């Protein structure tokens, strides 16, 4: 299962890195939707259920924010923030499970904000924290992805002159 999880993680990485390089928020959200779906399966196969459920929540959030202009207001932010908190409470299993919960909450806020710079900055900071988490749960290929996220995030900030 671990080998399959690593392969799925590799595909998720590719989609996530592509998302960061997009200028338009809608494309960022669409690529991140698919990346989160793959990460959900990867973490599920590795037994990292809190991360798997948080990626499920993230995929729903990305798809909703992508498809619906109505959910992009404060109501959408509150609903998805509460959704993440509720799922976080249900899946909490010690400090390690707290990491994907906090990161998902931060992603929720950054994907709600209209300015893509906040999404890129959140990705940069989260990637650093994910490295520790991924090492601990055995998502080794995803660590490579975290490093690529950091590089890609810096490139996109320079490229779009943020």
Lowest-pLDDT range, 36-40, 51-55, 81-85, 148-152?
Answer: 148-152
Of 142, 133, 76, 67, the closest CA to residue 100 belongs to 133
Task: Identify the three-state secondary structure at position 93.
Answer: coil
Per-residue confidence (pLDDT) for residue 107, from 0 to 100: 83
DSSP 70: G
**CA distance linking residue 50 with residue 52, whole number of Å:** 5
Question: What are the tokens at 152?
Answer: 């890609």
* pLDDT over 90 (residue 22): no
pLDDT in tens, 108-162: 888 777 777 887 788 889 999 999 999 999 999 999 989 988 898 888 888 877 6
Mean pLDDT of the region 52-57:
95
CB neighbourhood size of 44 (10 A): 18
Give pLDDT tens digits for 60-119: 988 888 887 666 678 888 988 999 999 999 999 899 999 999 999 998 888 777 777 887
Q: Tell me, what's the pLDDT at 70?
A: 62
* pLDDT for residue 25: 78
- pLDDT for position 147: 93
Q: What is the pLDDT of residue 148?
A: 86
Q: Map tokens 């932010």 to a residue.
A: 77
Q: What are phi and psi of 92, to 5 degrees?
A: -60, 130
**Token pair listed for 25:** 């928020």
Domain borders along the chain are 2-159
Q: Cα 42 vs. chain centroid, distance in angstroms? A: 13
């Amino acid at each position: 299962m671990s080998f399959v999880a690593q392969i799925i993680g590799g595909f998720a990485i590719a989609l996530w890195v592509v998302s960061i390089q997009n200028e338009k928020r809608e494309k960022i959200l669409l690529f991140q939707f698919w990346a989160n779906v793959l990460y959900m399966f990867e973490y599920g196969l590795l037994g990292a259920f809190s991360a798997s459920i948080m990626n499920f929540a993230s995929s729903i959030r990305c798809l909703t924010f992508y498809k619906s202009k109505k959910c992009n207001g404060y109501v959408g932010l509150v609903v998805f923030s509460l959704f993440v908190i509720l799922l976080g409470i249900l899946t909490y299993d010690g400090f390690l499970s707290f990491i994907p919960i906090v990161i998902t909450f931060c992603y929720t806020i950054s994907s709600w904000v209209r300015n893509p710079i906040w999404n890129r900055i959140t990705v940069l900071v989260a990637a650093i924290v994910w490295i520790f988490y991924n090492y601990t749960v055995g998502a080794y290929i995803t660590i490579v992805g975290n490093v690529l996220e950091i590089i890609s995030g810096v490139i996109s900030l320079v490229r779009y002159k943020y």
